[in-house]
Chains A and B, each alone.
Chain A
């Protein structure tokens, strides 16, 4: 196929001819394939079932209409020793890329200039594997045109968390593609804070080999921004994958997470806590495929909404034939602080094995009047009591974070966010 630039009418560019020309062999192949996938699938439309509760318009249109604003989430982890990787206006600051033991850090630009690179087996591959049964064409667009990203190759136990912090100002349209390879028995924690752009389309592909451990902690804040994130994960035998996201700002957020459990005795957890106030739409879309024996998966999502904020959860567990002894857990709950806010949930289980335990639940509720009275009767003013109840409500999601110190950081950030509003 000729490497010409292709745009959809009024929308996203699906191909970047200049980028393809300048890419090394592996990246060129990945980008062309992704561009073809996006072309074939078409961009998401309002009538798509998969986008039923969240309008894709903001992610699809060519114009970025918002201004990025500063966020405070970096300070949250200031007390921790981390390996800091920074992005400015969607661009990785590669001159300042740090080094750390048991891993290598590179920029996508330098990796894709090479004809051969380890990322070849992951970049666009996990994204492509995540295109069924529903198409996530904006992720393919990302693979096709992304120029920015971190390539992290983890070969042992990395002591300090790798911390990506992104800052942006103005109407930046950021397309970021990060790739992480965790070797057998290796371990790493990734922290993501800040925002890549006023509008962001991000893909994170993570390949966790047998016995590897990957921990992901993410804080999404900011005022005006549109954010679409995708995580594509492949998890090997006895490996662990845990991702937690705190969303405490932004007008529109859609977090997609597609995980495949391919080795026996693997364990994954995807959790999120979100605080929505006013003009706020937050969507968690999760798809977990069990394709091995004796694996555990957990989805824990808690949303606290007020002043007309909207929360969405679409979560699915697919247990393939032969994936016996699967232990699947899925809970999505919202605390609606007023009558104007809403929560839309679509939990799904699809099971083709006969020796499986899967539980799921979804609830929406108002604040417990008796608990509120209990707190107030101790002298805690109503607004502060509601904040305490909010912390109480999201606690189960935060408990999914394994590292107690990082969990405390998240709790502190949440407490600060609450007391600032």
Chain B
């Protein structure tokens, strides 16, 4: 699904190398988790993959279903099936959540040369999906993320994901700022979207989220590289021993 080879990235405005040769191969239908200490480059990886400005790719490639994405605009990557659930979803006052969702769904369809979703059809679909995430009609009407609690913002991210039906979902510290109940609800939403074609890359500091979204593969990232890859047990090892041992191993 997503193949990252030897990805080197620096900040555009500073001579600071953040990613120093990341290699990842994510198969369809799998959930990969990336764990790592602060500053290891996890969030940068998610931003670079989804097309945020301010970074410069100095080497390497990233392909989504065999197509290079690094030269695409952010919206083209989205239309190609990439989705990033933000660590800090942005508030957009004055734009209704529903308007935003419909604009996004139809913009992607248009970019893909598909027919737009009618207002009636959209309403039907969004109501059903919102219900599963315990998002009520009032929350759909409110401006995007404005006045939402941490949990509501993350549920809203998952709702967007459910509406946009991406092939490749990147979740950037989706557990941050969530209490246990909110995390369970979000995880349920994610799990409901799992199927044998859709791929997930779950970025997190803590093993806790992975109790609820069970990964197939766990990677440890440090200092801009993947330093270890293993099964779900690797996450438990980190939880018990911290990153220090792993960092020493690879030093």
Residues of chain A at the chain B interface (Cβ within 8 Å): 368-371, 373-382, 384-385, 388-389, 391-396, 398-399
Chain B residue nearest to A381 (CB atoms) is B75
Which of B52, B83, B84, B111 touches A381 (beta carbons < 8 Å)? B111
A410 to chain B, nearest CB (A): 12
Cα–Cα distance between A232 and B216 once the two chains are bound (Å): 71
**6 pairs, A vs B, C-beta closer than 8 Å:** A375-B104, A376-B51, A377-B74, A378-B104, A380-B107, A382-B73
Most buried by B among A382, A388, A398: A388
Known: A391-B94, A395-B93, A396-B94. A376 touches B73 (CB 8 A): yes
B89 at the interface (CB under 8 A from A): yes
Chain A residues within 8 Å of B95, by CB: 388, 391-392, 395
Q: What 7 A-B pairs are tightest by C-beta distance, nearest first?
A: A395-B94, A379-B108, A379-B78, A376-B74, A378-B104, A374-B90, A392-B94
Chain A residues within 8 Å of B84, by CB: 377
Q: Are B164 and A379 touching (Cβ within 8 A)? A: yes
Cα–Cα distance between A159 and B143 once the two chains are bound (Å): 31
Q: Are A380 and B75 touching (Cβ within 8 A)? A: yes
A138 to chain B, nearest CB (A): 35
Which of B74, B90, B104 touches A370 (beta carbons < 8 Å)? B90
Which of B51, B83, B103, B143 touches A380 (beta carbons < 8 Å)? B103
How many A-B residue pairs have C-beta atoms within 8 angstroms? Tell me: 83
- The interface size bin for chain B is 20 to 34
Known: A373-B53, A381-B111. A388 touches B92 (CB 8 A): yes
Q: A376-B75, A378-B75 are in contact. List 16 more A-B contacts (CB 8 A).
A: A370-B90, A373-B51, A373-B52, A377-B50, A378-B100, A378-B107, A378-B164, A379-B107, A380-B75, A381-B111, A385-B75, A388-B92, A392-B93, A394-B94, A395-B143, A399-B94
B79 at the interface (CB under 8 A from A): yes
Cα–Cα distance between A388 and B75 once the two chains are bound (Å): 15
B160 at the interface (CB under 8 A from A): yes
Most buried by B among A371, A378, A396: A378
Q: Are A379 and B111 touching (Cβ within 8 A)? A: yes
B72 to chain A, nearest CB (A): 11
Chain B residues within 8 Å of A378, by CB: 75, 78, 100, 104, 107-108, 160, 164
Chain B residue nearest to A387 (CB atoms) is B103
Residues of chain B at the chain A interface (Cβ within 8 Å): 50-53, 73-75, 77-79, 83-84, 86, 89-90, 92-95, 100, 103-105, 107-108, 111, 143, 160, 164
Cα–Cα distance between A396 and B84 once the two chains are bound (Å): 29
Q: Are B103 and A371 touching (Cβ within 8 A)? A: no
Cα–Cα distance between A398 and B143 once the two chains are bound (Å): 14
A60 to chain B, nearest CB (A): 38
Chain B residues within 8 Å of A394, by CB: 94
Chain B residue nearest to A399 (CB atoms) is B94
Cα–Cα distance between A368 and B94 once the two chains are bound (Å): 15
Chain B residues within 8 Å of A396, by CB: 93-94
Most buried by B among A369, A377, A394, A396: A377
Chain A residue nearest to B74 (CB atoms) is A376
B29 to chain A, nearest CB (A): 23
Chain A residue nearest to B166 (CB atoms) is A379
Q: Are A376 and B103 touching (Cβ within 8 A)? A: no
Cα–Cα distance between A378 and B160 once the two chains are bound (Å): 8
B163 to chain A, nearest CB (A): 9
A414 to chain B, nearest CB (A): 11
Q: Are B51 and A377 touching (Cβ within 8 A)? A: yes
Which of B53, B94, B143 touches A369 (beta carbons < 8 Å)? B53
Most buried by A among B50, B74, B77, B83: B74
Chain A residues within 8 Å of B94, by CB: 391-396, 398-399
Chain A residues within 8 Å of B160, by CB: 378
